[in-house]
Amino acid sequence: MEILLMYDEKLKQRVNALFDYALQKTPGIPALQEELSRCYQRLEQPMRVAIVGKIKVGKSTIMNALLEERVVETGAVETTFNVNWLCYGSQRSLTVHYKDTSHLPEPMSYEKLADLTKRSEDPKVLAYLRSIKYIQVSYPNNILRSFDLIDTPGLESIYKDDAQNTLDFIMQYGKELTTVTQEEAANADAVLYLFSKGLSEMDDSTLKEFQGDVVGRARPFNAIGVLTKVDANWKAYDDPVQGVQEITRRLAGSQQVRKLFYTILPVAGLLGFGAKTMTAEEFQTLLQVAELPSEQFKRLSHAEDRFTRERPDVTISAARREQLAKRLGMYGINLAYKIVNEKGIREQQDVALALYEHSGLLQLRQLILSHFGNRAYLIKLSKVLDQLALAFIDIRQHVHTADKALVSDIAGKFQMIRLQEHAFQEIKVLGSYYEGKLAFMKHEGEELLQITGEHGSTYHDLLSMPINATRAELKWAAETRLCYWKEKSNDFGLDRTTLDAANVIAHSYNRIVYELGK
Ligand X SMILES: Nc1nc2c(ncn2[C@@H]2O[C@H](COP(=O)(O)OP(=O)(O)O)[C@@H](O)[C@H]2O)c(=O)[nH]1
Count of residues engaged in binding ligand X, rule: CB under 6 A? 19
Q: Which is closer to ligand X, CB of 321 or CB of 396?
A: 321
Q: Choose the binding region for Mg ion from 15-23, 76-84, 356-364, 437-445 (rule: CB under 5 A).
A: 76-84
Contact call for residue 80 and Mg ion (CB under 5 A): yes
Q: Choose the binding region for ligand X from 50-58, 113-121, 204-212, 286-294 (rule: CB under 6 A).
A: 50-58
One residue of 26, 58, 191, 505 binding ligand X per CB under 6 A: 58
Q: What is the dihedral of CA 124, 125, 127, 130, to 10 degrees?
A: 180
Helix (H/G/I), strand (E/B), else coil: 200: helix
Q: Which is closer to ligand X, CB of 57 or CB of 429?
A: 57
Q: Choose the binding region for ligand X from 86-94, 112-120, 226-234, 410-418 (rule: CB under 6 A).
A: 226-234
Name every residue whose Cβ is closer than 8 Å to that of residue 53 and which is 6 or more positions away in sequence: 59, 154, 155, 193, 194, 195, 196, 226, 228
Helix (H/G/I), strand (E/B), else coil: 343: coil
**Residues 137, 71 contacting (CB under 8 angstroms):** yes
Q: Choose the binding region for ligand X from 39-47, 75-83, 98-106, 422-430 (rule: CB under 6 A).
A: 75-83
Q: Choose the binding region for Mg ion from 80-88, 211-219, 423-431, 484-492 (rule: CB under 5 A).
A: 80-88
**Measured between alpha carbons, how far is 99 from 134 in angstroms, rounded to an integer?**
8
Contact call for residue 74 and ligand X (CB under 6 A): yes
Pick what 266 binds: Mg ion, ligand X, none; C-beta below 5 to 8 Å, kind-dependent: none
Contact call for residue 225 and ligand X (CB under 6 A): no
310-329 binders of ligand X (CB under 6 A): 329
DSSP 192: E
Q: Which residues pair with 226 in a beta bridge?
A: 194, 265
- Minimum CB separation from Mg ion for residue 148, in Å? 17
Q: What is the DSSP string of 94-134?
A: EEEEESSTTS--EEE-GGGHHHHHS--SSHHHHHHHHTEEE
Contact call for residue 154 and ligand X (CB under 6 A): yes
DSSP 90: S
- Minimum CB separation from ligand X for residue 236, in Å? 14
Contact call for residue 57 and ligand X (CB under 6 A): yes
One residue of 19, 35, 47, 60 binding ligand X per CB under 6 A: 60
Contact call for residue 56 and ligand X (CB under 6 A): yes
The number of beta carbons lying within 10 Å of the beta carbon of residue 396 is 18
Q: Which is closer to Mg ion, CB of 60 or CB of 206?
A: 60
Binding mask 29-68 for Mg ion (x = CB under 5 A): ------------------------------xx--------
CA angle 141, 66, 61 (to 5 degrees): 120
**Residues 270, 61 contacting (CB under 8 angstroms):** yes
Which candidate, 284, 287, 326, 319, places its Cα nearest to that of 304? 326
Pick what 452 binds: ligand X, Mg ion, none; C-beta below 5 to 8 Å, kind-dependent: none
Contact call for residue 270 and ligand X (CB under 6 A): yes
Contact call for residue 301 and ligand X (CB under 6 A): no
Name every residue whose Cβ is closer than 8 Å to that of residue 249 and which is 6 or more positions away in sequence: none
Binding mask 326-365 for ligand X (x = CB under 6 A): ---x------------------------------------
Pick what 240 binds: ligand X, Mg ion, none; C-beta below 5 to 8 Å, kind-dependent: none
Angle between helices 422-434 and 442-451 (to 10 degrees): 150
- Residue 432: alpha-carbon gap to chain centroid: 21
- Minimum CB separation from ligand X for residue 37, in Å? 34
Binding mask 97-136 for ligand X (x = CB under 6 A): ----------------------------------------
Which candidate, 514, 505, 461, places its Cα nearest to that of 486? 505
**Measured between alpha carbons, how far is 75 from 274 in angstroms, rounded to an integer?**
14
Whether the CA torsion 114, 116, 119, 123 is positive or negative: it is: positive
Contact call for residue 240 and ligand X (CB under 6 A): no
**Shortest-Cβ-distance residue relative to ligand X:** 58
Q: Choose the binding region for ligand X from 90-98, 263-271, 403-411, 444-452 (rule: CB under 6 A).
A: 263-271
Q: Which is closer to ligand X, CB of 61 or CB of 489?
A: 61
**Measured between alpha carbons, how far is 16 from 19 in angstroms, rounded to an integer?**
5
H or E segment and range at residue 136: strand 132-139
Phi and psi at residue 107, in whole multiples of 5°?
-70, 145
Binding site for Mg ion (CB under 5 A): 59-60, 80
Binding site for ligand X (CB under 6 A): 55-61, 74-75, 79-80, 154, 228-229, 231, 268-270, 329
